[in-house]
């Protein structure tokens, strides 16, 4: 079997076109949706992510403000800037690019963002609501993965799902969204004994570890759906995921590529969350 590739770039195009339509409808009513992106320091990868997010806004009718600060910015100054953005009626979403320099407490910064502008979905109010009810925003990466399942009509209710990774931004919210959809979910981490024993019985595998080639063909049940969130570099410096794509695509039923899979969907769901925030603010 050769797996069907879930094309995140193509799906993103469709979803971004819907965002652009909604942005135009809001603009026609005199409301311009706005996202503020805040970058502290000069982390090379973060600069690329932020540039891509700002460009995606521009391409789809959203207004964006890009605040770039030196790594020496004090925590107090960053909190003051967030306070100003919270009160700015032109701004509907606030994204602080992580990681922050070590002298800044990232938790404190995230908690300072108004929950109704927390388009990353990382604020404790939104993370808690993901657990207990309807969050204002779902974290962009796992939300994008859910859209991929929906687009391919991959059944989640009753499915055995294994999420590899337990971070607050990917693994844990991914697991919660799968639980919400009725899957039976196992969350694995670096201490998991015999990872392959878990993945081999999974209908759905979501790998989010940052470990290249962690998931190999022998770990995958024939026909399973394999979602690769990882972003790593191979020996030639090319972008690759956590999954041995060439081997696993011969066993899996569905697979996401890297690049062109989950990455573009993450930015797309940021736009979706921002447009939702703007629509709520506009009433
Ligand atoms: P993270 O905070 O470093 O978490 C990695 C997780 O993987 C941890 O829970 C870790 O377990 C687990 N892990 C590491 N090695 C493992 C192993 N051998 N077996 C099982 N679990 C293992 O990373 P993250 O922020 O969640 O990101 C994960 C990956 O996704 C990274 O490559 C990142 O660049 C990528 N990412 C991509 C997107 C996108 O849009 N495509 C968005 C966000 C992140 P412990 O908790 O036990 O240490």
Span 14-66, pLDDT tens digits: 999 999 999 999 999 999 999 999 999 999 999 999 999 999 999 999 999 99
pLDDT for the residue numbered 183: 98
Give Cβ neighbours of residue 191 (< 8 Å, ≥ 6 apart). none
Catalytic residue among 67, 97, 203, 221: 97
Using a 6 Å cutoff on CB, does residue 268 contact ligand 1? Answer: no
> From CA 61, how far away is CA 18, in angstroms rounded?
11
pLDDT digits (tens, 9 = 90+) for 238-247: 999 999 999 9
Which among 121, 122, 144, 167 is the best mutation to test ligand 1's pocket, defined by most ligand atoms within 8 Å of the CB?
Answer: 167
Catalytic residue among 67, 118, 120, 228: 120
Indicate if the pLDDT at residue 236 is higher than 90: yes
pLDDT for the residue numbered 180: 96
97 is catalytic: yes
HSE at residue 20, side-chain half, CA atoms within 13 A, is: 12
Which regions of the chain does DSSP assign to beta strands (E)? 4-5, 34-40, 63-69, 93-96, 160-164, 184-188, 204-207, 225-228, 232-233, 239-240, 254-255
> From CA 48, how far away is CA 117, in angstroms rounded?
23
Indicate if the pLDDT at residue 134 is higher than 90: no
Using a 6 Å cutoff on CB, does residue 213 contact ligand 1? Answer: no
Using a 6 Å cutoff on CB, does residue 230 contact ligand 1? Answer: yes
pLDDT digits (tens, 9 = 90+) for 74-86: 999 999 999 999 9
| pTM (2 d.p.) | 0.97
Taking residues 269-273, report their average pLDDT: 98
pLDDT for the residue numbered 133: 82
Taking residues 248-269, report their average pLDDT: 98
More confident residue, 88 or 1: 88
For the ranges 127-136, 149-158, 174-183, 263-272, which has the lowest average pLDDT? 127-136
Rg (CA), the chain: 19
Which regions of 34-158 does DSSP assign to beta strands (E)? 34-40, 63-69, 93-96
Give Cβ neighbours of residue 81 (< 8 Å, ≥ 6 apart). 38, 67, 69
Using a 6 Å cutoff on CB, does residue 190 contact ligand 1? Answer: yes
Give Cβ neighbours of residue 113 (< 8 Å, ≥ 6 apart). 82, 86, 94, 96, 123
- Sign of the four-CA dihedral 196, 172, 176, 138: negative
Which protein residue's CA is at the shortest distance from atom 2 of ligand 1? Answer: 167
Indicate if the pLDDT at residue 1 is higher than 80: no
Report DSSP state, residue 62. -
Res. 70 pLDDT band, cuts 50 70 90: very high
pLDDT for the residue numbered 273: 98
- Mean pLDDT of all residues belonging to the chain: 97
77 is catalytic: no
pLDDT for the residue numbered 52: 95
Which protein residue's CA is at the shortest distance from atom 47 of ligand 1? Answer: 190
**What is the share, in percent, of the chain residues with pLDDT greater than 90?**
99
Angle at the Cα of 229 (from 226 to 235), degrees rounded to 5?
A: 100
């Amino acid at each position: 079997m050769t797996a069907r590739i879930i094309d995140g770039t193509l799906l993103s195009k469709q979803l971004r076109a819907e965002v652009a339509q909604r942005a135009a409808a809001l603009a026609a009513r005199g409301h311009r949706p706005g996202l503020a992106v805040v970058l502290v320091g000069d982390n090379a990868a973060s600069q690329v992510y932020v540039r891509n997010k700002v460009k995606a806004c521009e391409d789809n009718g959203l207004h964006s403000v890009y605040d770039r600060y030196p790594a020496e910015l004090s925590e107090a100054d960053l909190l003051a800037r967030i306070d100003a953005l919270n009160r700015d009626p032109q701004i509907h979403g606030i994204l602080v690019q992580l990681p922050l320099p070590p002298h800044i407490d990232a938790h404190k910064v995230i908690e300072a963002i108004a929950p109704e502008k927390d388009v990353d979905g990382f604020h404790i109010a939104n993370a808690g609501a993901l657990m207990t009810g309807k969050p204002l925003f779902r974290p962009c990466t796992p939300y994008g993965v859910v859209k991929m399942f929906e687009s391919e009509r991959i059944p989640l209710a009753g499915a055995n799902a294994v999420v590899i990774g337990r971070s607050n931004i990917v693994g844990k919210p991914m697991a919660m969204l799968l639980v919400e959809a009725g899957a039976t979910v196992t969350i694995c981490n670096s201490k998991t004994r015999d990872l392959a024993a878990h993945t081999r019985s999974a209908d759905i595998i979501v790998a989010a570890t940052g470990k290249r080639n962690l998931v190999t063909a022998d770990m995958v049940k024939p026909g399973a759906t394999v979602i690769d969130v990882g972003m790593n570099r191979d020996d030639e410096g090319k972008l690759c995921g956590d999954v041995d794509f060439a081997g696993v695509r011969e066993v899996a039923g569905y697979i996401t590529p890297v690049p062109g899979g989950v990455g573009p969907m993450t930015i797309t769901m940021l736009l979706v969350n921002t447009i939702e925030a703007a629509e709520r603010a506009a009433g």
